């Protein structure tokens, strides 16, 4: 199906779905060796096709520039030598990961005599909807293959040529080891109606993983009939407790805010215990502003009374509004609030946070344990930068997304998030009394 011929998107998507379902049955039964061989065959195809892929990417980049794509999108769209090497390395990394499929746990005898346990199995068919980054095509395909799932990929139209060139390598690799090409299908249409079909084909798709802006993900979640593993936003907090060690408070805050701005695990609000705010807040604020002269601090009343007039912060301060506590800036902006101790900090985080990643800086045992238990977020940390909330840092090998849901997969999602566990029963002719 060419881009020009998308009149019957429903029929096309039904066909894609049926092919994916059939391929998923075979993949579920594929052994670890052949899945790894497929990943390495794709690695070799990709390596050999580097010039073709970069040429396809150049077509996308030229078109993007002509269409005045914004700089951030163009940056994500670009495949340079470094990113290409990263893709190749990613395939080797995923091949080296242990196969999650087939793991049997909790086998016990029940009083009836049956031997009962759980076996980890693939979900079946994964639908992935994402925006500009073409390397996501490869990442998602490799995680799906390793976990025995077929995948349907719907990348952004701006990356169409790059994605098709990568898909060609994936198909050649799959073919080489005798696995179905339908194991990985990159949609050959940019028609938006295809997304609507993909997220409602409950017969053929078991889970949708969207990656992109909050607007896209909200639309998908709202319209989907297939379950969605979704990441909405990352409004991450660092709470400086009265028992924080000064150096840790400063270094972790600077890292959590200034290491990268566009990432979901970046700190957006700094909370400081009133008891140490006079002492610590100026030092932390100065260090953050020193790290980036573009930094803007949005202050509540109490932090204003502490920081206003500080010459090192001149031009960097303004008053926070209520909206700031609920905002993911993804920019050199930080909301700052002085709170009345741990309870107020937990209350603020559970009320205004996005249940993504929240941090306490403290050297007090009891308060650290209360924070860990009572903060209702996907990642809760003591004395560490929220920037660690990441599939690679967590050792998941690669990351298919970060979930802000509580159901099924929470936080960084790697291979295990693409599996489920079925019950298995070994009997000897038992019947129920």
Residues that bind a copy of itself (CB under 8 A): 25, 28-29, 102, 108, 110, 112, 114, 116, 119, 121, 123-124, 206-207, 221-222, 225, 227, 245, 247-248, 251-252, 254-256, 259, 350, 370, 372-374, 376-385, 387-389, 393-395, 405-408, 410-412, 420-432
- Least distance in angstroms from the C-beta of 433 to a copy of itself: 9
d(CA 157, CA 276): 51
- 2 versus 108: smaller Cβ distance to a copy of itself: 108
* Nearer of residues 67 and 431 to a copy of itself, judged by Cβ: 431
340 versus 376: smaller Cβ distance to a copy of itself: 376
Dihedral Cα 135, 141, 142, 146, nearest 10 deg: 160
Comparing CB distances to a copy of itself, the nearer of 63 and 408 is 408
Give the shortest CB-223-to-a copy of itself separation in angstroms: 11
Which of 127, 293, 139 lies closest to 220 in space, CA to CA?
A: 127
Supply 230's token pair: 């979704």
Residues 6+ apart with CB under 8 A from 420: 120, 121, 122, 123
Q: Judge contact between 362 and 241, C-beta under 8 A.
A: yes
- Give the angle 140-29-224 at the CA atoms, nearest 5°: 45
In the bound state with a copy of itself, the residue whose beta carbon lies nearer, of 136 and 256, is 256
The least distance separating a copy of itself from the CB of residue 174, rounded to whole angstroms, comes to 20
Query: SS3 sequence, 264-289?
Result: CCCEEEEEEEHHHHHHHHHHHHHHHH
Task: CB nearer to a copy of itself: give 260 or 301.
Answer: 260
Decide whether 158 or 206 has the Cβ nearer to a copy of itself. 206
User: What stretch of H or E contains 403?
Assistant: strand 401-403
Kindly tell me which of 254 and 284 has the beta carbon lying closer to a copy of itself.
254
Taking the complex as a whole, the smallest distance from the CB of residue 151 to a copy of itself amounts, in Å, to 15
Q: Minimal distance in Å, beta carbon 370 to a copy of itself? A: 8
Q: Could you tell me which of 260, 88, 68 has the C-alpha nearest to residue 173?
A: 88
* CB burial readout 248-275, b (16+ within 10 A) else e: ebbbbbbbbbbeebeebbbbbbbbbbee
CB of 146 to a copy of itself, least distance (A): 17
The alpha carbon dihedral of 376, 380, 385, 390 has a sign of negative
Q: Residue 96: how many CB atoms within 10 A of its CB?
A: 11
Angle at 101 between CA 175 and CA 13, to 5 degrees: 50
Length of the chain measured in residues: 433
Which residue's CB is nearer to a copy of itself, number 262 or number 427? 427
Shortest distance in whole angstroms from residue 346 CB to a copy of itself: 9
Contacts of 232 (CB under 8 A, 6+ apart): 214, 217, 218, 354, 404
Residue 28 or 344: the one with the smaller Cβ distance to a copy of itself is: 28
Tell the smallest beta-carbon distance from residue 181 to a copy of itself (Å): 21
CA distance 352 to 347: 8
Give the angle 221-227-228 at the CA atoms, nearest 5°: 50
- Least Cα distance to 398 among 213, 34, 120, 144 occurs for 144
Encode burial over 150-164: b for 16+ CB neighbours within 10 A, e otherwise. bbbbbbbbbbbbbbb
Least distance (Å) from a copy of itself to the CB of residue 404?
A: 11
Least distance to a copy of itself, CB of residue 408, Å:
4
Tell the smallest beta-carbon distance from residue 269 to a copy of itself (Å): 18
- CB-nearer residue toward a copy of itself: 207 or 284: 207
Pairing of strands 104-109, 115-122: antiparallel
CB of 160 to a copy of itself, least distance (A): 30
Output 312 or 373, the one with its CB closest to a copy of itself.
Answer: 373
């Amino acid at each position: 199906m060419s881009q020009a011929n998308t009149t019957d998107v429903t029929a096309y998507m039904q066909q894609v779905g049926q092919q994916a379902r059939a391929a998923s049955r075979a993949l579920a039964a594929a052994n670890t060796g052949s899945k790894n061989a497929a990943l390495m065959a794709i690695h070799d195809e990709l390596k050999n096709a580097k010039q073709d892929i970069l040429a396809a990417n150049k077509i996308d980049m030229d078109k993007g520039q002509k269409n005045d794509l914004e700089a951030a999108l163009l940056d994500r769209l670009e495949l340079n030598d470094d990113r290409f090497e990263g893709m190749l390395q990613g395939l080797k990394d995923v091949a080296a990961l242990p196969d999650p499929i087939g793991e049997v746990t909790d086998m016990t005898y029940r009083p009836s005599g049956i031997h009962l346990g759980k076996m980890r199995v693939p979900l079946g068919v994964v639908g992935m909807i994402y925006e500009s980054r073409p390397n996501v095509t490869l990442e998602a395909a490799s995680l799906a293959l390793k976990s025995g799932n077929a995948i349907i990929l719907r990348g952004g139209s701006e990356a169409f040529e790059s994605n098709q060139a990568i898909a060609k390598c994936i198909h050649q690799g799959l073919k080489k080891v005798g696995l179905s090409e339908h194991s990985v299908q990159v949609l050959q249409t940019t028609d938006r109606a295809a997304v609507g079909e993909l997220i409602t084909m409950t017969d053929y798709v078991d889970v949708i993983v969207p990656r992109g802006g909050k607007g896209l993900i909200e639309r998908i979640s709202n319209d989907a009939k297939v379950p969605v593993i979704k990441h909405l936003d990352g409004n991450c907090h660092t709470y400086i407790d009265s028992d924080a060690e000064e150096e840790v408070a400063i270094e972790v805050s600077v890292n959590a805010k200034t290491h990268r701005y566009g990432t979901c695990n970046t700190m957006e609000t700094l909370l400081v215990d009133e008891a140490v705010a006079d002492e610590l807040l100026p030092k932390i604020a100065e260090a953050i502003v020193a790290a980036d002269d573009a930094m803007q601090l949005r202050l509540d009343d109490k932090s204003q009374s502490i920081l206003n007039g500080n010459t090192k912060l001149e031009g960097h301060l303004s008053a926070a509004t209520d909206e700031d506590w609920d905002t993911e800036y993804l920019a050199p902006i930080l909301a700052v609030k002085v709170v009345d101790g741990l309870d107020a900090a937990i209350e603020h985080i559970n009320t205004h946070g996005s249940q993504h990643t929240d941090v306490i800086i403290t050297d007090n045992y009891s308060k650290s344990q209360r924070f860990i238990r009572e903060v209702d977020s996907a990642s809760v940390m003591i004395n560490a930068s929220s920037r660690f909330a990441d599939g690679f840092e967590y050792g998941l090998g690669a990351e298919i997304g970060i979930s802000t849901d509580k159901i099924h997969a929470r936080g960084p999602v790697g291979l295990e998030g693409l599996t489920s566990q079925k019950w298995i029963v070994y009997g000897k002719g038992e019947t129920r009394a």
